[in-house]
Structure 1
Amino acid sequence: MGFTENSAKKAISVTGGGGVEQAMEWLLAHSDDPGINDPPAVEPQATGQDTTEDERGGKEGEGSSKEGEGSSKEGEGSSKEGEGSSKEGEEGQEGEDAAKSIKCDDCGKLFKTSEEVEFHAVKSGHSNFSESTEEKKALTEEEKLQKKRELESKIKQRRKEREMQEEQEAREREKKRIQMGQQIAERKRAMQELEMKKIAEERKKEKLEDKMARERVKEQIERDRQARKEMFGGNKSEAGATTSAPPAKPVPPPTAAPTTTTQKKEYSTTRLQIRLPSGTPMVQEFKAKEALSAVRLWISLNRQDGEPADEPVKLSMSFPRKLFSEEDMDKPLDALGLVPSAVLMVSK
């Protein structure tokens, strides 16, 4: 932001040479005025002393004329000359007492125009002004140029300070943005850890339930075996050695064996071998009713091949050849033919 020479001179003139700060504030306040760049108006300075001298000259001329005209009326001319001298003294005294400036009674500064007084009152808050016979000294051209240079230097300094402040505010905004991003990432990481912990607890619980179920099955089988043993042992003791045919009576239970072998065996878990793109194998057991998306999530959380956890994962089988789609991710493993064991290929 810069100002023309005319505007700087006008600011110095309006503020009455009150200093660079006052001139700069006036320029900033009136920068949008249409006549800011017009040359400052030159006010004719007519002092009371000049008026007195002119009047004195006129009176003296009038006295000389009257004295030449009425040489015979010497007494009358002398009387009029004395009267003129008396009037000159009165008018000279009035000219000396005429107001030449306006003085601020609060700070003692002198002002030429009412605009300067108004500007000073708004800026400083002073309200006590009076007319003064003191004449404010006008600035020389060198002083005006010096004021202009000081004003431009002050404006440059203000602009530099404003730019530094804007840069500081920009750095603060960037710092806050980075902090906010870090907080969001931290919350996201905490949520992921909580989700992983929840999944691990669920799997641990499922494994414990499976183990307890297997134990119950084993106990039931053992009880059935013990019951059959006791039953067959009791029949032998009752029959004795009289006949060998009775021991063949319990044969019917084996006849049910073909029917049991023809039934499809139900598996509660499956063992999956997962091959990463790098060739690294991973082996993990899953519940047969778990969705394929759980397998994909486990791969993303546990892979050690350097790929990021959020890297998209595609799963496929080599035999029979099959590429699993997004619709397959919601299907259980047993419905996809991945029970009791299978090999899955991971690709990007």
Structure 2
Amino acid sequence: MSDKDVLLSMGFDAGRLTPLVGALKATGNRGLQPAMDHILENEGKPVPDLSGVTANSSSSGGGGGGDVPMDEDDDEDAAALRAVYGGSTASATAAAAADVEAKSIKCSQCGKIFKNTALVNYHAEKSGHDQFEESLEEVKPLTEEEKKQKLEELRLKMAEKRAVKQKETAKEDKANEAIRRKAGRDMNDLREELKHKELIKEAENKRREKVEDQKARAAIKAQIEADKKARAEKAAREKALREGNTYVESSSAAASSAAPAAAAASNVAGKDYPHTRLQIRLASGGQPYTTTLSSDATLREVAEFLAGQVLAVDVETVNFAQHFPRKVFSHADFSRTLKELGLTPSAVLIAS
């Protein structure tokens, strides 16, 4: 790069470059840096007119007798101009005096030239280059063939980008589909597991209810047998009294007959049942009403249920009784729970 290009890239006015010859001379031709310092120091001074140098150079070249002689300083200036710009003194002076105008911007790092600053900014953003200078090279307009070639290159690049994008999209879609399928399988497995657990729980509840029903039936059967024996003992005792005979009750027989019923009843009453199944029959007849209540529900809740089914039943006046074992519940029992009244896990009540 010439001294002139360096000074232009640094922002010096092209009109101030002509005094470079004098600056080089004034600094003893020690190089560009001292000459540049000399120009900066004399920035405010007018630019010297070197037209005389040109004239003298021309006269000297022609060898005419009427020419103005060139002094020693003019010879040194002309020689410096020739050394900087090359060629004859006249051409060097004309080049220095010409209005120098940059026609493009050049990247100092890769050598590419650009027509305007917008292209420079785009190049800097894409490449990361940050060193640019003005250039006298002119960016020639593209020919039709070059335009077609550039357009074809852009089309190929766009097609490649679309192909890469399609591949990436297809890959992402495939990965997302695999994730979705795995999530669906996991969800189905979870549903099947929950369903299996529900079936096991339901089967266990049915088995437990069946066992409880069997125990309840055994207890009721034992109570019926005990009631039969008690009625037989009562009938025998009344018959003996009518005939005037003395009847001696067999306590061992009564105890032995009541033992199975008591044992069965104690086994049933000793269990903690969360729910109680009730069958309520009206003393006046009609269809029975069946319901399942919590074992902690009170007898008043049973009355309220029956009142909701039968309009003729009043909660405050209805009475409940149980045949086996024979038991009548008063209104004082309405605040007691079904568990406390021994009605779990199932019972038959007569409402009147």
TM-score between the two structures when normalised by the length of structure 1: 0.38
